């Protein structure tokens, strides 16, 4: 293999490594400067269906109330 081609390959490899590191650094700085609340995000991941469970509980309570009102209206 030609020594010139080896140097070109090494140069390309170094440029790719440096470029990817700079890109990751920029992404990390951007995430930190946007003030993401990592604790809240992790809490959301641990309880992914919490909001849906609360909505379903509220809906269930409302259905029970409507059924009770319907029974009361039927008795009168």
Digit-coded pLDDT (tens) for 9-55: 999 999 999 999 999 998 888 776 666 566 666 666 777 778 888 88
Q: Which residue has the tokens 């440096």?
A: 18
Better pLDDT: 18 or 3: 18
* CA count, 13 A, side-chain hemisphere, 70: 6
Give the model's confidence band at 71: pLDDT under 50 very low, under 70 low, under 90 confident, else very high.
Answer: confident
C-alpha triplet 31, 37, 39: angle, nearest 5°: 125
**Length of the chain in terms of residues written:** 76
How many CB atoms sit inside 10 A of residue 34's CB? 7
What is the distance between the alpha carbons of residues 72 and 76, in angstroms, rounded to a whole number? Answer: 7
The whole-number pLDDT of residue 5 equals 86
């Amino acid at each position: 293999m030609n020594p010139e081609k080896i140097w070109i390959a090494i140069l390309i490899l170094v440029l790719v490594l440096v470029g990817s590191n700079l890109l990751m650094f920029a992404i990390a700085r951007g995430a930190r400067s946007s003030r993401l609340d990592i604790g809240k995000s992790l809490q959301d991941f641990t309880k992914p269906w919490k909001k849906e469970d609360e909505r379903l509980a509220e809906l269930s309570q409302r259905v029970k109330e409507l059924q009770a009102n319907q029974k009361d209206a039927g008795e009168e």
